[in-house]
Structure 1
Amino acid sequence: MIETPPGVLISAPSSGTGKTTVMLGLLRALRDEGLVVQPYKSGPDYIDPAFHRAACGRASFNIDTWAMDDRLLNGIAAQMNGADICIAEGSMGLYDGVATKGQTGFGSSAETARRLGWPVVLVVDVGGQAQSAAATALGFQTYAPDLPFAGVILNRVASPRHERLARLGMDQAGITVLGVLPRRGDLTLPERHLGLIQAVEHPDLESAIAGYADFLREHVDLAAIRAAANSVRGGQTGSLPSPPAQRIALAQDAAFSFTYPHLLKGWRDAGAEISPFSPLADEVPDPTADLVWLPGGYPELHAGRLAAAQCFLTALRRHAEARPVHGECGGYMALGEALIDKQGHRHAMAGLLGLVTSYEKRKFHLGYRRAVLGAAMPGFDAGQALRGHEFHYSTILAQPDAPLAEVFDADGQPVPETGSHRGKVTGTFFHLITPEAA
């Protein structure tokens, strides 16, 4: 057993309180102090880790206590080696999770903090209230008495008087105030229908993060947060996922960007050769690749360009004649017959599967997924159980191919998005997180 770097988890009572901008500013401010900062994201978020990396220069990894077993969690925790401090960002509200194994909050940010022993810094939006915010913070502190709690950062404070009143309430409740952030309309990240835009799409990300860091330095007690960070005993055996092939051609651009960092790290650590290519630039996958992997992303925003990328599509079809192709969510849609955008325009896709999806007829799909494969897919045999997460707004208009798996939500209820397979081509709507241990 070894001593691990100290850490804290940044969370909030709910989404939309400003924790992501606090997280990015904190990562950059601590990096600017000369610290090696290891970021993490609690939960299955695809987008935030790229922002984290831009802020501190170190790859961010998801920690997911619903989807990941101890071996994988330990393998991901080991990525903190060489860091001076770990900062994790929560998802949704601190205690929000799923009702599985007879308990609520399973897979929550609180569970991540408890497992790693990292105290919670709660970002509280005090807009529209003053002393009453202390009741919220006190409730979050006492709801789970065994959860370490560092204190609060008060966000969107309107005036010095507002700050005095909010602090008074926190003092009376015995809550430590670690920072007070005045209300500023420019401290928001651009959003789209799946949440934040991708880091690569931000018009001036470096300037924005530098601004967040300046704001945090001025209004947050960074020394107090560092002092609150807690070390835990670590060093347990862990491992990251094995690669599905030796040579992997991986689509990577604005249309295909959602691959969990722990998967890519595990593949590379095991010696797999990953060759990125851009379908949007009409690049072809490595012709020597054993597997072409199309991740999720935003193909619906680039459907016309994908349909026109004939070099890419021709090479993909040629590859599928002899070697496997797999697509996740957006990648799965691109492997289908057609994609209908939100304006109702139909765009021909690769046609390697019969799938037809529509964003004109939107339907929200969100949640954990457990899939039991009915047929093999790259890296996994029929009968293997996989865990993942689904998040999209597309509607299936046609799915004529054989289902790939029986798929269930976190409560064990079947879902109709089974994925499909034809020949050497497979696709799923869920993003793979990990196989279940045998």
Structure 2
Amino acid sequence: MRMPGAIPPGLLISAPASGTGKTTVTLGLIAAFRAAGLVVQPFKSGPDYIDPAFHAAAAGRPSVNLDSWAMTPGRIAALASGAAGADLVIAEGSMGLFDGVARAGETGTGASADLATEMGWPVIAVLDVSGQAQTAAAVAAGLAGFRPGLRLAGVILNKVASPRHEALVRAGMAVAGLPVLGALPRKAAVALPERHLGLVQAEELPRLQAILAEAAAFVAAHCDLDTIRAVAAGGHLAGTAPPVPPPGERIALARDAAFSFVYPHLLADWRAGGATVLPFSPLADEAPDPSATVCWLPGGYPELHAGRLAAAAHFRAGLTEFAATRPVHGECGGYMALGAGLVSADGTRHRMAGLLGLETSFAKRRMHLGYRLARPLHPLPGLGKVALRGHEFHYATILSQPDAALAVVQDANGDAVAEAGSCRAMPGGGQVSGTFFHLIAPASSESIS
């Protein structure tokens, strides 16, 4: 019997590469086990901020990011302890199982394999077997033997064309000594809609619960749920770490379809630090709560709602008044919304808040992607000048960034990043700042130089 407060056994769902169907399989497993009466705790390996919302909808409890590049072992352990009281942990990997950066950060390179090894979670690999048969076993065997200490508990075959195709793949897996825990037919796949940053956000899908039910039925019909649960293990890591300090006592948090990228662990940390979170919607032309002590605009999709933001005069006036005397900070999409203007994909320039001089454009998209280590040149609310670890992912082209640089920023290789954020002091004592990276955690070590 598991002791109260202990972390339950878990699994990490991974794959040889992105695009194999691991998110659909993960959601199907979470929803299927929940439908069977289990309490499932989801996690996401890496900095993705879209998948956890789907996990939470499937599990009925928050999903948390665990990141080996940005988080210490103690921080990972502290967040993993949130699984106490669940029956099973299901973590979803990112990209391929061993894909990470070249230089390690706090715990590792950001690879899903780091997390599986650290937590002792067996890996189930989702394999897209379209266009191959016995060769799939060679790929799986390579995953199983690449890193000592990592256990590949079995595979789930995806996009199986026919019973004959399945038999051939299973024959190869038998030779390799790898259990086949499921085989999903090609034509019955459950599809999740996508856009340029990944999946369409969970909150934007009116049929989300129906999609999750379909995924649960699909996975339950074609996977051995009893064996999958039986191979779960690990959860032995122990440790503690201080939470990320809140940026203020009362946080006005922009929260709607344009500003939705907030890591769940940050919100939990802020509340654990005694802060009150006061959501407001710029798209509904709402201003920050006047009783707030700080305003935070997270990332999201301002480019998809630029016209509505430009027309939100009450929001803009209220934010300007707030910023005169109190700190305002924006991340990625929130940073763009604080700027002077945003050019949408059709070439139309839309007026933004104008609290910073930043001009961005989606007319000519350019992808910016990767981990970031930032050493602030100006104090950030609640954080001061402590070095920060985060992640950047957007397609905006920077046309102008005229304000004072907020930080010295490097990527995971130690190379300088030109997008150093912006900072502007306001005449009434307030400060407006913004970054293109999303904060994950303060840095306890600064191995990058």
- Give TM-score scaled by structure 1 length: 0.97
Q: How many equivalent residue pairs?
A: 437
Q: 1:122 aligns with which of 117, 122, 125?
A: 125
The aligned counterpart of 2:371 is: 368
Q: Specify which of 296, 315, 318 is matched with residue 315 of structure 1.
A: 318
Change over 3 Å in CA distance of 1:268–1:101 after alignment to 2: closer
In structure 1, what is the Cα distance between the partners aligned to 2:91 and 2:243?
19
Give 1:93's match in structure 2, choosing from 93, 96, 99. 96
Residues 18 and 94 in structure 2, CA contact (< 8 A), matched pair in contact too: yes
Q: Which residue is 1:340 aligned to?
A: 343
Which segment drifts farther, 62-71 or 293-302?
Answer: 62-71
- Residue in 2 that maps onto 1:386: 388
Once residues 42 and 136 of structure 2 are traced to their aligned partners in structure 1, the CA distance between those partners, rounded to angstroms, is: 28
The aligned counterpart of 1:401 is 403
Corresponding letter in the other structure for 1:27: I
Tell me the equivalent position of 1:416: 418
Counterpart CA distance in 2 for 1:234 and 1:65 is: 14
Which residue does 2:442 correspond to in 1?
A: 435
User: Secondary structure of 1:343's match?
Assistant: coil
Q: Which amino acid in 2 is paired with 1:425?
A: V
8 A contact 1:95–1:105 mirrored in 2: no
Tell me the residue number matched to 2:179.
176
Counterpart amino acid of residue 431 in structure 1: H
**CA-to-partner distance for each residue in 1:188-217, whole Å, 9 max, x for gaps?**
210111111100112411100000000111
**For 1:256, which of 253, 256, 259 is the aligned residue?**
259
Structure 1 unaligned residues grouped into runs of 5+: none
**Distance of 2:215 and 2:189 partners within structure 1:** 10
CA contact (8 A) 1:18 1:188 kept: no
Letter in 1 for 2:70: A
Matches within 5 A, 1:176-255: 176-184=179-187, 186-255=189-258
Is the 8 Å Cα contact of residues 119 and 236 (structure 2) preserved in structure 1? no
Name the SS for the 2:310 alignment partner.
Answer: helix
Residue 387 and residue 270 in structure 1: after superposition, are their counterparts in 2 closer, same or farther (change >3 A)?
Answer: same
Q: Encode CA deviations 1:118-167: one digit per residue, 9 max, x unaligned.
A: 00000001001111111111111111132011100000001010111110
CA RMSD of aligned residues (A): 1.6
- Is this contact kept in 1: 2:120–2:233, CA < 8 A? yes
Alpha-carbon offset, residue 69 of structure 1:
1.4
- The answer on whether the counterparts of 1:119 and 1:149 sit within 8 Å (CA) in structure 2 is yes
Structure 1 partner of 2:428: none
Amino acid at match of 2:389: R
- The secondary structure found in structure 2 opposite 1:138 is helix
Distance 1:158 1:267 in 2: 49
Q: Distance in 1 between matches of 2:203 and 2:187?
A: 24
Contact 2:69 2:104 in 1 (8 A): no
Contact kept in structure 1, 2:159 and 2:189, CA below 8 Å: no
Runs of 4+ in 1 over 6 A off after TM superposition: none
CA distance in structure 2 between the aligned counterparts of 1:340 and 1:186, rounded to whole angstroms: 37
Whichever residue aligns with residue 437 of structure 2, its letter is F
The alignment's TM-score, normalised by the length of structure 2, stands at: 0.95
Q: Distance in 2 between matches of 1:98 and 1:183?
A: 32
Amino acid corresponding to residue 395 of structure 1 in structure 2: T
Contact 2:130 2:161 in 1 (8 A): yes
Per the alignment, residue 329 of structure 2 pairs with 326
| CA deviation after TM superposition for structure 1 residue 260, in Å | 0.6
Contact 1:15 1:91 in 2 (8 A): yes
2:284 to 259, 273, 281: 281
**Residues 67 and 105 of structure 1, relative CA distance in 2, 3 Å threshold:** closer
Please say if residues 339 and 357 of structure 2, whose CA atoms lie closer than 8 Å, have aligned partners that are also in contact: yes
Is the contact between residue 113 and residue 119 of structure 1 (CA under 8 Å) also seen in structure 2? yes
Identity %, equivalent residues: 61
Q: Distance in 2 between matches of 1:221 and 1:41?
A: 23
Task: Find the counterpart in structure 2 of residue 271 from structure 1.
Answer: 274
Residue pair 1:3, 1:234 contacting (<8 A) in 2 also: no
Q: CA–CA distance in 1 between the matches of 2:207 and 2:6?
A: 38
User: How much does 1:379 deviate?
Assistant: 1.4
Which of 136, 147, 153 matches 2:150?
A: 147
User: Which is worse superposed, 89-98 or 193-202?
Assistant: 193-202
> Aligned equivalents of 1:77 and 1:240: distance in 2?
13
- Using the alignment, how far apart are the partners of 2:44 and 2:169 within structure 1? 29
Rounded Cα–Cα distance in structure 1 between residues aligned with 2:144 and 2:50: 28
Greater shift after overlay, 373-382 or 215-224? Answer: 373-382
CA distance, structure 1, for counterparts of residue 394 and residue 317 of structure 2: 27
1:78: Cα distance to partner?
Answer: 1.4
Q: How does 1:54-69 map to 2 (within 5 A)?
A: 54-69=57-72
Q: CA deviation at 1:363?
A: 1.0
Cα distance between partner residues in 2 of 1:330 and 1:185: 36
CA distance in 1 between partners of 2:91 and 2:340 (Å): 40
Which secondary structure state, in structure 2, belongs to the residue aligned with residue 433 of structure 1?
Answer: strand
Deviation at 1:272, TM superposition (A): 0.6
Distance, in Å, in 1 between the alignment partners of 2:413 and 2:240 is 29
